[in-house]
Amino acid sequence: MKPPPVEIPGASPPPPPPSARSVASPVAPTTKGAAVATAGAIPTGTSAPSVAPATASTPGASTSTEGQTAIAQMPGSESELTLLDRARARMAPDPAAAMRALDAHLALYPRGTFAQEREVLAIEALVRLGRRPEAEARAAAFESAFPGSAHRRRIAVLLSDDAGL
């Protein structure tokens, strides 16, 4: 039986088509007649970044478009790359610790630059932990979210019987 599809938070759905509710961006002419968008012009139909709303228990958290940056600058937070490097380093000796680092990456950077890499590492960690159905579900979600990704080959190897994990 095929596992249910899993939504990958790092995958962005295609942007909605322009609608009548969108606000046109004001422009200012330049000396050569080109148009430059002025600051503060944000269409009303855009979606908010996928960042948890600020609460009293998360001081310094932000729900602005810079939300991910604000969270990343909070004391004790780590950069995207640092979290992924930690996950890679822990993968063989302690895949559970690798998975914790990947979960932290997902929480801090749900739509981060390295979302695909995070998902590949998470699939590997799940395979190493013996949680194959979860790994397969996450792989199916990855395939759906990133159909042209160069990482698909690595995922196929991870899920093959020849992976040797």
> Over the stretch 27-83, which tens digit does the pLDDT of each residue have?
444 444 433 333 332 223 323 223 332 333 333 333 334 444 444 444 456 899 999
Q: pLDDT tens across 15-41, in order?
A: 444 444 444 434 444 444 433 333 332
- The amino acid that residue 18 corresponds to is P
Please give the Cα distance from 138 to 131 (Å, whole number). 11
pTM of this structure:
0.57
| Confidence (pLDDT) at 162 | 72
Mean pLDDT of 90-117: 96
DSSP-based three-state secondary structure for 28 = strand
Task: Report the distance separating Cα 41 and Cα 105, nearest Å.
Answer: 31
- Specify the CATH class of 62-159 in words: mainly alpha
Dist CA 36 CA 4 (whole Å): 46
pLDDT value at position 76? Answer: 55
Indicate if the pLDDT at residue 92 is higher than 70: yes
What pLDDT was estimated at residue 130? 96
- The mean pLDDT of the chain is 71
pLDDT for residue 9 is more than 80: no
pLDDT: is 8 or 21 the higher one? Answer: 8
User: Using 50, 70 and 90 to split pLDDT, how confident is the model at 8?
Assistant: confident
Six token digits for residue 16: 């909605």
**Sign of the Cα pseudo-torsion (17, 19, 23, 27, in order):** positive
* Residue 146 CB neighbours (<10 A): 19
The residue written with tokens 């932990």 in the block is: 129
- Quote the pLDDT of residue 144: 97
**pLDDT computed for residue 149 by the predictor:** 97
What size, in residues, is the chain? 165
